[in-house]
Structure 1
Amino acid sequence: MELREYLKHKTLLFDGAMGTYFRSVHPEYPGKCELANCNAPAKVAEVHKNYLESGARAIKTNTFAANTHALECKFDEVRTVIRQGWKIATKVAEPYRAFVFADIGPITDPNGEYEQIVDEFLALGAKNFLFETWSDDDDLYALAAYIKARCPDAFLIASFAVSPDGFTRQGLSARAVLERVTNCPVIDAAGFNCVSGPNHLLAQARANADLFGKERPAADPAMLSVMPNAGYPTIVDGRTFFENRAGYFASRMVEIVAAGAKIIGGCCGTTPEHIRLTAEALNEEEIKPEPAAAQVEVKPREVKNRLADKFAAKKRVIAVELDPPADDNLEKFMAGAKALKEAGVDAITIADCPIARARADSSLLAAKLRRELDIDPIPHMTCRDRNINATKALLLGLSAEEVRNVLVVTGDPIPSAERDEVKGVFSFNSAVLAGYIRELGEQGVTASFRVFGALNVNAANFEVELRKAKRKVEQGVAGFLTQPVFTSRAFENLIHAHEELDADILGGVIPIVSHRNALYMNNEVAGIEISQGVINRYEGLDREAAEDLAVDLSVQLAQRMEPYTAGWYFITPFQRVSLITRILRELNKSTETDPS
């Protein structure tokens, strides 16, 4: 029977997890599971057969990680793994008249490899494809169109790995991704697998069931696919184990079908026993569809954001960066922040462990500033040091503390001398983090944040920097703080950004306090470029004369940037808050005496 015809009458039951089950029955196997297609084909065939004997009517080829990145090999070897995997699966499935799906997992840096993999499967006669455990949909639509152009009858399932709270590891909400995917006419089914157990994926199935079954132009309605993990693993003696509660799994799968799933199966930790009991439950019980859950419209919470209001009113915004202390003595930091507020500063920005060295936490300091000084802080949030769970926890805390503005940056790498002891965690980049923050606000999980990003106007290839900035705007970044602007090239890039970006820009100013300071910043600080003419002006000056020059240059630079910015971003050198307040006084004087 053709697959689409089968699905009109029955629920399609997939197999369970090839990887974890293969390991459990063949712990002696030394390599990656996919390589067993070539050097232990009988063991792979045995796994497929066990699932089919248990009642599965669709199996996945043992090719989830068949790519050059995961297998650390040339594509010629990947090609062999794919061909052998297809040969094994189709041979085992034939007597059971089961459907075989080409299994394709995510690739860290695909660079055209998805198309190569697809071409191999199509050449072998594959018509059914499963893209599983994906964390975003960026490459999916072009790839699906590529397949359908070559095989119009192909059946495509897009399956995403989501955490129990409904977000992928890239920070995308399940709802937002499924809304896009179910509206794509070249994708036949979509849903979830991996990361979460059956109870949490049941909740996701119910929450998103309304997206499925709707008419689509030039395509049948999309179907819901759900393949949960067996549950949540435990670690025993350094090994990962899933407790075998197959009966519970089966009962939840029946509920998932009642919630609207037409395609089900298992992921990590599921065994033939899970599939057997699920098949029996599906055959024994009369499954009545659940009434569609009423969709509650979630609206972003209306919150007061003084900084956002000032931008909206086209008033100039002044933000000043204060470095967090390297110890727990906050007296100087708080005194500096108070002096800046009294000088008319709108916001204090706080770096997040700059140059990857531990300092007082930027978000905790932001909450303290908000509560004790009633000034608007902009804590920096790096993508280094936190996974998505830690990031969400921090955002919840900031929202509760009424901190409404954040600056997202990827973060400096860990210094090489410390990498044996300190490990960087980069679960996403700044554009993805910005999108995640926006999604939390749109779903009412947190209050809406105004998200800022960094803009390097000193970049050697500014067009690349500008493309990154536009991507960040698409993800929800509303404003940019630039690197310090000292050179004519940096000014040209600032003007270009002003013309191209639909976002507010705060022009970066850092006072240079000595000749040595100028040399250091120009030669050792990434993203800062100082002209030789400016460096030469500091040569031979004492501290007082150097500060006078710093004030004059900073005021001139700020005034020159004014037509192309929504305000200024001053970086405090060596905690010299008095120098920043002096610059602000001079700027105020020039504004008051300006005849225009």
Structure 2
Amino acid sequence: MKIREYIKDKPLIFDGAMGTYYSEQQEGKCELANINNREHIIEIHRKYIAAGCVAIKTNTFAANTISLEKDLELVKRVIAAGAQNAIQATDGREIFIFGDMGPIPYAGEGASPLCEYKEIVDVFIENGIKNFLFETLGSDEYLSELSQYIKNKNKDSFIITQFAVTPDGFTRIGLSGKNIVKRVEEIEEIDAIGFNCVSGAHHLYEYIKQFKTVQKYISIMPNAGYPTVRNNRTIFENSSDYFAETLYKMAQLGVNILGGCCGTTPEYMRKTVDLMTGFKKPRRIEYKKQEIEENAETDKENGLIKKIGLGQKIIAVELDPPSKAEIAGFMEGAKRLKYNGVDAITIADCPLARARVDSSLLACKLKRELDITPIPHMTCRDRNINATKALLLGLSIEGVENVLVVTGDPVPSPMRDEIKTIFNFNSAILAKHISELNETVFDAPFGISGALNVNSRNFDSQLKHAQKKIDNGVSMLFTQPILTEEAFENLKRAREVLSAKLFGGIIPIVSHRNACFMNNEISGIKVSQEIINRYEGKTREESSELAVQISTDIAEKISNYVDGYYIITPFNRVEIVEKIVKKIKSL
């Protein structure tokens, strides 16, 4: 019988979690056990089948080169063995087998897992697997290409896609589950869509009740519940009766495909199958449109964006946050800049991966006490999506309207044994998360800024990445300092091809030594030899005057190609920036 015929009459019940069930009995990565301990894997498959499951997943969730840290040839062996183990476990019975693929972890800028996914699909097909489950996904990227690739190989394949969302409906990289469903519904080759992992049965039940009509088959595979840690092992409390009852309620809503994720043992699935006995013809999900209370208040207008819209040239100045809990100097500098007509102050987020006063807390203080527009930098380093969302909620409450998203500097090599660098996403993904929160959470949407490196050797790549940021919601781009003719030409190109507002980067050079250091030691900054030569033999006072003159000349040169200026304060020397601001305003 084909799957589409089967689910006309009753829900398709999948197995539970191979990974957590295996880890209760054995150590090591369960996918490698396809080769090293295959009899045990086959036995687990058989236990789920004996529990009444009519569909099983191959033991290949993390079978990729990044997760297993193995070469592609070994990964292919693991997948082939996983397929054969699942087939052998059926003992010739009519059980639907799905090639199981989880997300291939982020491997850095420019890396694409699409080719490896296709290689994995080919191995499954070569070993007799025609149905596929993409599960625990954080985004819908690549799904259109992959599903087309599969259906071109076998038009009868059944493809399920499942996303892991928190109880508030966002994936680990901050994408809205509801928006993902809308996009995936447009992909003709995908047969079913749904959610698994991260959330327990109750939260996924409550979440899917919020959906209006969904045209594709619905697949839900929740966790057993929420885990606890005992003796360094992750344990899911036994709530199999509650789990089964909640899945039954999902079937009543119209969920066509049901199964289990982390912590769900054969017992969970046996009780689910028992409750489903006699259940017939689940309806498609159809909900009445929820009435939305009209908000009497219109969306607040972002002050900075309003100024730009009125044709004003914005001046934003970056102040480095203090490295100690001494704030007087920083606040005095910000006060002086406001007095001189600066429109916004940007605050770096632990630059060079060294701890400084938190940029978001400083932004709130500036807004409260000086009523100046702050733009805190928000890095992707050392902050997961939950912490990021919590921070944005706090900023919104404090009236901070703008953020500048950057990937962030890695921890310097000598410190890596003591301080671990964590990157859960990049700047483009973070921008997308904030953009989706703007649509779903914030009454006053954030203005999202990004960075543009006009000093990059491969500026075509920079433009491509900048366009991705713009596609993900970035409306303003702050450039690196423009201190060469090449950087100026790149700025002109950016103005021609990018739709975002551009803030031209200006950094006053305060000495010959400073110029040489920036040119040779600071990533993303280039100083022309002509400028370096102009500082030779100059005193401190003469260098300061030259810094003002060169910065003003650069501001005038780039004026026709920018919507504002981004001045970076050198060594907290606010007095130099004050003079530059006055000169720019007099142009």
For normalisation by structure 2, the TM-score amounts to 0.96
Aligned to 1:133: 136
| Pick aligned residue for 1:532 from 529, 532, 538 | 529
Aligned to 1:98: 95
Letter in 1 for 2:565: W
CA distance in structure 2 between the aligned counterparts of 1:157 and 1:296, rounded to whole angstroms: 31
CA distance in structure 2 between the aligned counterparts of 1:498 and 1:127, rounded to whole angstroms: 49
State whether residues 224 and 262 of structure 2, in contact with CA within 8 Å, keep that contact through their aligned partners in structure 1. yes
Instruction: Determine if the alignment matches structure 1 residue 307 to structure 2 residue 304.
Output: yes
CA distance in structure 2 between the aligned counterparts of 1:469 and 1:550, rounded to whole angstroms: 30
State whether residues 451 and 479 of structure 2, in contact with CA within 8 Å, keep that contact through their aligned partners in structure 1. yes
CA, structure 1 residues 291+496, in 2 after alignment: closer, same or farther (shift >3 Å)? closer
Q: Cα deviation per residue 1:116-166 (whole Å; 9 max; x = unaligned)?
A: 111111122222110111111111110100000110111000111111211
SS of residue paired to 1:194 = strand
CA, structure 1 residues 138+298, in 2 after alignment: closer, same or farther (shift >3 Å)? farther
Aligned to 2:320: 323
SS of residue paired to 2:199 = coil
Q: Cα deviation per residue 1:268-291 (whole Å; 9 max; x = unaligned)?
A: 000011101111112267898686
1:241-252 counterparts in 2 under 5 A?
Answer: 241-252=235-246
1:417-566 counterparts in 2 under 5 A?
Answer: 417-445=414-442, 447-566=444-563
Q: Cα deviation per residue 1:184-225 (whole Å; 9 max; x = unaligned)?
A: 1000001111111111111222123x2413xxxxxxxx1110
Aligned to 1:177: 180
Letter in 1 for 2:131: N
Instruction: Determine if the alignment matches structure 1 residue 47 to structure 2 residue 44.
Output: yes
Aligned to 2:575: 578
- The alpha-carbon deviation at position 39 of structure 1 amounts to 2.2
Aligned to 1:80: 77
State whether residues 179 and 211 of structure 1, in contact with CA within 8 Å, keep that contact through their aligned partners in structure 2. no
Instruction: Determine if the alignment matches structure 1 residue 191 to structure 2 residue 194.
Output: yes
| Pick aligned residue for 2:345 from 341, 344, 348 | 348
Cα RMSD of the aligned pairs, angstroms, is 1.7
CA distance in structure 2 between the aligned counterparts of 1:194 and 1:429, rounded to whole angstroms: 23
Aligned to 1:218: none
State whether residues 13 and 263 of structure 1, in contact with CA within 8 Å, keep that contact through their aligned partners in structure 2. yes
CA, structure 1 residues 451+121, in 2 after alignment: closer, same or farther (shift >3 Å)? same
Aligned to 1:123: 126
State whether residues 395 and 446 of structure 1, in contact with CA within 8 Å, keep that contact through their aligned partners in structure 2. no
Q: Cα deviation per residue 1:276-322 (whole Å; 9 max; x = unaligned)?
A: 11111122678986861424569997123210101111211110001
Aligned to 2:369: 372
CA distance in structure 2 between the aligned counterparts of 1:212 and 1:57, rounded to whole angstroms: 24
Q: Cα deviation per residue 1:512-533 (whole Å; 9 max; x = unaligned)?
A: 1111111111111111100111
Letter in 2 for 1:292: Y
Letter in 2 for 1:294: K
State whether residues 182 and 211 of structure 1, in contact with CA within 8 Å, keep that contact through their aligned partners in structure 2. no
CA distance in structure 1 between the aligned counterparts of 2:516 and 2:529, rounded to whole angstroms: 9
Instruction: Determine if the alignment matches structure 1 residue 142 to structure 2 residue 139.
Output: no
Letter in 2 for 1:170: I
CA distance in structure 2 between the aligned counterparts of 1:88 and 1:368, rounded to whole angstroms: 60
CA, structure 1 residues 561+146, in 2 after alignment: closer, same or farther (shift >3 Å)? same
Letter in 1 for 2:99: A
- The alpha-carbon deviation at position 435 of structure 1 amounts to 0.4
SS of residue paired to 1:426 = coil
Letter in 1 for 2:214: F
SS of residue paired to 2:388 = helix
Aligned to 1:212: 214
Moved more, 295-304 or 580-589: 295-304
CA distance in structure 2 between the aligned counterparts of 1:78 and 1:169, rounded to whole angstroms: 25
CA, structure 1 residues 8+204, in 2 after alignment: closer, same or farther (shift >3 Å)? same
Letter in 2 for 1:261: V
State whether residues 380 and 406 of structure 2, in contact with CA within 8 Å, keep that contact through their aligned partners in structure 1. yes
Moved more, 115-124 or 468-477: 115-124
State whether residues 114 and 146 of structure 2, in contact with CA within 8 Å, keep that contact through their aligned partners in structure 1. no
Q: Cα deviation per residue 1:372-415 (whole Å; 9 max; x = unaligned)?
A: 11110000000001011110110000000010000000000111
SS of residue paired to 1:555 = helix
State whether residues 505 and 565 of structure 1, in contact with CA within 8 Å, keep that contact through their aligned partners in structure 2. yes
Letter in 1 for 2:268: H
CA, structure 1 residues 488+404, in 2 after alignment: closer, same or farther (shift >3 Å)? same
Letter in 2 for 1:338: K
SS of residue paired to 2:476 = strand
SS of residue paired to 2:148 = helix
Instruction: Determine if the alignment matches structure 1 residue 393 to structure 2 residue 390.
Output: yes
Q: Cα deviation per residue 1:332-361 (whole Å; 9 max; x = unaligned)?
A: 111111111111110000000111111111
SS of residue paired to 2:257 = strand
Moved more, 30-39 or 242-251: 30-39
CA distance in structure 2 between the aligned counterparts of 1:189 and 1:511, rounded to whole angstroms: 57
State whether residues 408 and 451 of structure 1, in contact with CA within 8 Å, keep that contact through their aligned partners in structure 2. yes
State whether residues 396 and 446 of structure 1, in contact with CA within 8 Å, keep that contact through their aligned partners in structure 2. no
CA distance in structure 2 between the aligned counterparts of 1:460 and 1:446, rounded to whole angstroms: 40
CA, structure 1 residues 463+354, in 2 after alignment: closer, same or farther (shift >3 Å)? same
SS of residue paired to 2:346 = strand
CA, structure 1 residues 63+315, in 2 after alignment: closer, same or farther (shift >3 Å)? same
CA distance in structure 1 between the aligned counterparts of 2:175 and 2:583, rounded to whole angstroms: 46
Q: Cα deviation per residue 1:550-584 (whole Å; 9 max; x = unaligned)?
A: 11111000000000000100011111111111112
SS of residue paired to 1:186 = coil
CA distance in structure 2 between the aligned counterparts of 1:94 and 1:200, rounded to whole angstroms: 36
State whether residues 382 and 421 of structure 2, in contact with CA within 8 Å, keep that contact through their aligned partners in structure 1. yes
State whether residues 377 and 404 of structure 2, in contact with CA within 8 Å, keep that contact through their aligned partners in structure 1. yes
State whether residues 404 and 448 of structure 2, in contact with CA within 8 Å, keep that contact through their aligned partners in structure 1. yes
Q: Cα deviation per residue 1:399-452 (whole Å; 9 max; x = unaligned)?
A: 000100000000001112221221112110000000000101100246310000
Aligned to 2:289: 294
CA, structure 1 residues 302+543, in 2 after alignment: closer, same or farther (shift >3 Å)? same
Aligned length: 578
- The alpha-carbon deviation at position 91 of structure 1 amounts to 2.4
Instruction: Determine if the alignment matches structure 1 residue 8 to structure 2 residue 8.
Output: yes
- The alpha-carbon deviation at position 69 of structure 1 amounts to 2.2
CA, structure 1 residues 33+404, in 2 after alignment: closer, same or farther (shift >3 Å)? same
Instruction: Determine if the alignment matches structure 1 residue 258 to structure 2 residue 252.
Output: yes
State whether residues 323 and 351 of structure 1, in contact with CA within 8 Å, keep that contact through their aligned partners in structure 2. yes
| Pick aligned residue for 1:152 from 151, 155, 164 | 155
State whether residues 399 and 446 of structure 1, in contact with CA within 8 Å, keep that contact through their aligned partners in structure 2. no
CA, structure 1 residues 445+567, in 2 after alignment: closer, same or farther (shift >3 Å)? closer
Instruction: Determine if the alignment matches structure 1 residue 37 to structure 2 residue 34.
Output: yes
SS of residue paired to 1:422 = coil
Letter in 1 for 2:406: V
CA distance in structure 1 between the aligned counterparts of 2:35 and 2:210, rounded to whole angstroms: 42
State whether residues 384 and 411 of structure 1, in contact with CA within 8 Å, keep that contact through their aligned partners in structure 2. yes
- The alpha-carbon deviation at position 261 of structure 1 amounts to 1.0
CA distance in structure 2 between the aligned counterparts of 1:81 and 1:425, rounded to whole angstroms: 29
Aligned to 1:113: 116
